[in-house]
Chain A
Amino acid sequence: MRLLRAELLKLWTVRTPRVLLAIAALVAVIAAATQIGIIEYRDGDPTLSAGQVAGLLAGAAAAIPLATFIGAVGSTSGIRHRTEYLDHLITPTRWQQVGARVGAYLLGGLLFAGVLLAALLVVILTWALIRVGNVPWSSTTTRILLGVALATSAYTAIGLAVGAIFRNQILAVGLLGGWIFAIEAFFVIPLALIDLRLTSLMPVQAIQALLIDDALNDLVDEPGFAISYGVWPTVGIIAVWTIGLSAIGIWRTLSSDIE
């Protein structure tokens, strides 16, 4: 517990996570505001369905990948600034350190999502109550809230793992950024040509699938339309990426010298 708290304190006492959180909240709010703008533009006197509320919240999907940078920066900064030895002096048993760190980043991801969603909800609810008068809510909306929280947590851990695997901060951050903003697209496009659902096997696309699928299905009235294999299989895909990369990251950490 102490180690977990110390790891969270480490995250909170440097600027990068806070800056990323601010950017992520901004991205999510802008994504939601754009959708609000479209709704406003389309209907002069806007109405709101439960599916639209879910869709607005799913705007957070755009911000979730940013959480991976927190993990990547966090796990490489100990190596870069040679602070790892202090962790080791406190807890010479290495798997305890590693366990505490993974736990802290999963929890940190949840807190990150909490702030992100709070910012989104403030914007959405304020607008909906003023302009529409009510906020229709469905089980899909609740599921999307949970989905955002879990996906953010998972992606923070993925970032942590990528940092632990590559150990160099610039390399890890560069690779993640490259993957999220460019490389994955090279895989997604051919997969989409075969079957749209296959794209949800890719880590970033899986988030989109998890969060947008339901919302889209509520909106798009086309039989047989699906961008994923369903909620639980998509959760499974994210879990496989997270656990798989974490396992490699933990192995790398346990087998490298202490800086």
Chain B
Amino acid sequence: MATLSVEGLTKRFGAVEAVSNLSFTAEPGRVTAFLGPNGSGKTTTLRVVLGLAEPTEGAALIDGQRYQDLERPFHTVGALLDGGFHPGRRARDHLRILATAVGVGDDRIDAALAFSEISYAAKRRVGGFSTGMKQRLGLAAAMLTDPPLLILDEPLNGLDPEGIQWLRRTLRSLADDGRTVLLSSHVLAETEQIADDVVIISQGHLRADASMAELARQVTAEVRVRTPEAGRARALLVDNGFAVTPGDTADAFIVDSTGVEVGELLSAAGIVLHELSPGERRLESVYFQLVSDLPAPPLPAAATPPAGPNAGPVTEPELP
């Protein structure tokens, strides 16, 4: 069991502030997705966590200790970052070097190769590997010591759909065994099915730190309303603090809320409904709103309810 906590982390490269006062945790038994667009500071954060770069301010702690202060760091944290292979070296030799340095036996090499389903290529030179094969070998290296904490920078990159399915299953079962899994990605949709928790950053700032369920709830909270009394209905909803956006036809509009709330309010006012259906907003659009700095155009600022996705970072109380 190992908990990762990033506490008020800031990392500057000269004038560039890559990470700004970032705090979040990754808990045992859970898969945490660490999301953000290109250049948002994901890799920088992970490098600080792994002791590869010094934080400018704040800290990243693994069970209360910095990576470099851990007694057996490689046995505690398995990591996957970009690069890491000599193209002329055979896959098995790559693992053998790591195993020799950390003092684990050949049985672990075989186990790690089997885990990553890459045993068939063990004797081949890494230079001839596809991107997905390299990712798998990188994962084998991360799993060499069977560590309780996995930190994976874009592990899904380069994997084919089958590989993605495999990694999803694998990470799920690793977390179910009580391990802590943190994986970064650009694409929320990729991690939607595996992650329990989501940390979203943009330009080095935290944008959301919530459970996937919590985030998903925001998505379903959108309904399409069609009524012959569209004008009166919209005015009523806006007066009651709902966010309303125009629909595709004159008698339709979209409300950021649930069907229950909207239906009850409108029926109490005696408004006839022709349609009340779940909106089309997908999780991905919530993500895009969170990472974009501009307020999302379809949501008039005045009408944005406090819990709306643009109201600031989404946070949820500490997990048990």
User: Which of A's residues lie within 8 Å of B, judged by CB?
Assistant: 2-3, 5-6, 9-10, 13-16, 77, 81-83, 85-93, 257-259
Contacts and interface: CB of A to CB of B under 8 A. Distances in A.
The binding surface of chain A is classed by DSSP as: helix
Contact of A90 (B52, B82, B96, B101): B101
B20 to A, nearest CB: 20
Contacts of B85: 81, 83
Nearest to A94: B68
Interface residues of B, number: 30
A77 to B, nearest CB: 6
B95 to A, nearest CB: 11
5 contacts: A81-B86, A82-B84, A85-B50, A85-B83, A92-B67
Contacts of B97: 6, 9-10, 13
B51 interface: yes
Contacts of A89: 50-52, 73-74, 77, 79
Nearest to A12: B93
Contacts of A88: 50-52
B74 A15 contact: no
Given A13-B93, A88-B51, A91-B101, A83 B67 contact: no
A16 B79 contact: no
A253 to B, nearest CB: 14
A9 B106 CA distance: 14
A93 B68 contact: yes
A10 B101 CA distance: 11
B300 interface: no
B88 A14 contact: yes
Interface centre among B84, B87, B94, B96 (most CB of A within 10 A): B84
B24 to A, nearest CB: 21
A92 B90 contact: no
Contact of B93 (A9, A83, A92, A93): A9
B74 A16 contact: no
Contact of B73 (A10, A13, A81, A90): A90
Interface in B58-74: 67-68, 73-74
A14 B96 CA distance: 13
Contacts of A5: 100-101
A132 B78 CA distance: 63
Nearest to B73: A92
A5 B141 CA distance: 18
A6 B100 contact: yes
B265 interface: no
Given A2-B100, A6-B98, A14-B86, 6 more contacts: A85-B81, A89-B50, A89-B51, A89-B52, A89-B74, A90-B101
Given A13-B93, A82-B83, A92 B103 contact: no
B98 A92 contact: no
Nearest to B69: A92
